[in-house]
Structure 1
Amino acid sequence: MENSRKLLIGLVLGCILGLGGLTWFNGQIKEMPPGPEFLVRWDAMPFDRAVAILEERGVVRNAWVFSRYARLERKAVAVQGGTYAFRPGMSMAQIVQSLKTPLRQNVRIPEGWWIKRVAERLESKNVCTAKEYEELAAQPQAFQDSVDFPLPKGSLEGYLYPDTYDLPPMMGARAVILRQLQTFKKKVVDKVGEEGLARAVVLGSMVELEVAKDDERPRVAGVIENRIKKGMRLQIDATVLYALGEWKELGPGVVNTVQSPYNTYLHAGLPPGPIGSPSIKSIEAALKPEAHNYLFYVARPDRSHYFTSDYGSHLKAIAKARGEWRTAKEPDNL
């Protein structure tokens, strides 16, 4: 009888302890009080290490218990490198799901944009600061060992290929630039080679900003080459805008007041470097310009151009284009 009594007491105490342990365990995996969302940028790491960090940040109540529970549920996986979003108050299922899925963010870098404009967009998307991107883009030597084609001196302008990239928040400027250089290698260097490439990037950057229609890119490149051969100044507005560092409409006479080696109204020949990031189509046009006698072109409302070979014809083309622009701006055509 005494032994039966002791056994019963033992069973009761065991149940009490078991229930108490279960209650404690459940309490340790309960959600934390709600709080604001925050982002973290991590290298790849073990699940337990990530959970320990989340305990420090107030997202997980007990990292040891959380990890054990996740393993029992077969939900513990190694954490990939990337950017993650968390907030106190998330459920265990939400936390585990967030640990499995680093953030993604598509960021479009348009053709023709220069470094400063790209930097501002990256900062607006929380990818990196504009200052960090601009400073690193001014240090080509810091990236030369990471690529197998020659980089320019002084600036990576023109070599940071324009495209739509997956650039999550907090990615950092160095990672962005490396990805752009790798894309430049794949889409440009591997396709056209290195011979004459540096000059083609400069010329192509002007073609990119001057031309909207692909079939006109080689023609405009031909105009630029013809003017260079004749010692004529290129007089390309985009070079003045680059010198100013902002994209805006140029008022009368402004082009002759901007003192910069990039101002092709004041200086003959090509500018000292690219004025933006050209597409492969513009670079190919620069490498294979169309052979013709044109020296002038003027933009039309449909984004095409009139091309002429002498100044008199150019003036007539300007008058014709202005008439088209006036018609295009009339209320019935807007």
Structure 2
Amino acid sequence: MPKKRNKNRRFGRWTFLLLLAAILLGGFLWLSAGTAPMPAGRAFYVRYERPTTLPKVLSEMQRKGVVRDPTAFRVYAFITRTPTQIRTGTYQVRPGMTARELLNEFRKPFSQKVRIPETNWAQRTANLLDTKYQVCSADEYMALYRDPKQFHKLVSFPLPSTTLEGYLYPDTYDLPPLLGARAVIERQLKAFERKVWEPLNHPADLPRILTVASMVELEAGRDDERAAIAGVIENRLKKKMRLQIDATILYGIQRWKRLTNADYKNLDTPYNTYLHEGLPPGPICSPSLKSIEAAMKPDTSGDSLFYVAMPGQRSAFASTYKEHLKNVKKRRDALKELGQ
């Protein structure tokens, strides 16, 4: 009897071990199949405006063709001790990612540094954010740009009633894809408040300052010439001379091009300072702090009324038209020598 009992025990133990092995093997095969990568595809972004959970994200990823079996992924996440809370932010995913790659992607939101240049006017920034960085649609950005009243309570400085041109501070921002235009504009306005309005002690006549500064921004090739160019603008205004700044024409037509002699007369917009006296209706780009400071403290000491950019050198300033024509000839000769 004892031998038969021992034999039954050994048989029961082996049966249990075989059953356990079958369960483990079946579980492994199920987990492997459920977490196997989907066919490779194009990467895309998803964004969550508030914290969410991994199960909800995995269900969405199944609908988007990135995950085969959300339950298998949840088991895998439990085994690998992956956090189940997903933070607010943007994430980059693509069909074909392994389980480890996908879960690692959702550990930290996607970060993207975007440089908004000083020389950009709003439409150019909108196009940049849309086509290159997928931060927001250009139309969404421009619609908010044309509706400043939505942001009056956001900042302490006065906003214009028509557009936000000149107030959208140019800088490098962390702007992940799908962030949305409102968040971008809010960051730009807060940066303007922090880096311009407050450091410059709440300058009076802000619209005029920004209008002059924006022209300086697009005209100055060197930092040490900004105040002198601002001085030329002020000197010409004082003498009731038309400013004749090419960049104002380009802003009026909202595109860059090489201007012809006919363009100066035929491209008649309110911003054409060859045809219209005084300042243009408003800023023509988002100026840097240096240009704003130059507009606040223009160098009018030399009575200069003209300037021309010299290739590889400082700009040449002149107080008479005759002197200016000589400088223009020097520029042409210099360009010829350079083969331009």
TM-score norm. by structure 2 comes to 0.88
For residues 242-321 of structure 1, the aligned pairs below 5 Å read 242-292=251-301, 293-302=303-312, 304-321=314-331
Q: Which amino acid aligns with 1:288?
A: K
Q: Which amino acid aligns with 1:154?
A: T
> Following the alignment from structure 2 to structure 1, what is the Cα–Cα distance between the partners of residues 72 and 35?
7
Q: In structure 2, do the counterparts of structure 1 residues 222 and 18 end up closer, same or farther at CA, with 3 Å as the change threshold?
A: closer
> Following the alignment from structure 1 to structure 2, what is the Cα–Cα distance between the partners of residues 8 and 86?
47
> Following the alignment from structure 2 to structure 1, what is the Cα–Cα distance between the partners of residues 262 and 28?
81
Would the aligned equivalents of 2:55 and 2:84 in 1 still touch at CA under 8 Å? no
How far apart are residue 211 of structure 1 and its match?
0.6
Q: Which amino acid aligns with 1:157?
A: E
* Residue in structure 2 matched with residue 198 of structure 1 by the alignment: 207
Q: Which residues of structure 1 form unaligned runs of 5+?
A: none
Q: In structure 2, do the counterparts of structure 1 residues 10 and 114 end up closer, same or farther at CA, with 3 Å as the change threshold?
A: same
> Following the alignment from structure 1 to structure 2, what is the Cα–Cα distance between the partners of residues 31 and 2?
50
Q: Percent identity?
A: 46
> Following the alignment from structure 1 to structure 2, what is the Cα–Cα distance between the partners of residues 219 and 321?
19
Structure 1 window deviating more from structure 2 (85-94 vs 275-284): it is 85-94
Pairing partner for 1:45 from 52, 68, 72: 52
Work out the number of aligned pairs and report it.
330
How far apart are residue 225 of structure 1 and its match?
0.9
* Residue in structure 2 matched with residue 74 of structure 1 by the alignment: 81
Alpha-carbon RMSD: 2.3
> Following the alignment from structure 1 to structure 2, what is the Cα–Cα distance between the partners of residues 155 and 147?
15
Pairing partner for 2:38 from 32, 38, 46: 32
> Following the alignment from structure 1 to structure 2, what is the Cα–Cα distance between the partners of residues 278 and 23?
61
Confirm or deny that 1:121 pairs with 2:128.
Answer: yes
For residues 14-25 of structure 1, the aligned pairs below 5 Å read 15-25=21-31
Q: Secondary structure at the match of 2:261?
A: coil
Structure 1 window deviating more from structure 2 (103-112 vs 269-278): it is 103-112
Q: Which residues of structure 2 form unaligned runs of 5+?
A: none
TM-score norm. by structure 1 comes to 0.90
Would the aligned equivalents of 2:30 and 2:72 in 1 still touch at CA under 8 Å? no
Q: Which amino acid aligns with 2:113?
A: N
Q: Which amino acid aligns with 2:292?
A: I
Q: Secondary structure at the match of 2:279?
A: coil
> Following the alignment from structure 2 to structure 1, what is the Cα–Cα distance between the partners of residues 139 and 314?
37
Q: Which amino acid aligns with 2:231?
A: G
Q: In structure 2, do the counterparts of structure 1 residues 64 and 289 end up closer, same or farther at CA, with 3 Å as the change threshold?
A: same
Q: Secondary structure at the match of 1:89?
A: coil
* Residue in structure 2 matched with residue 100 of structure 1 by the alignment: 107
* Residue in structure 1 matched with residue 148 of structure 2 by the alignment: 140
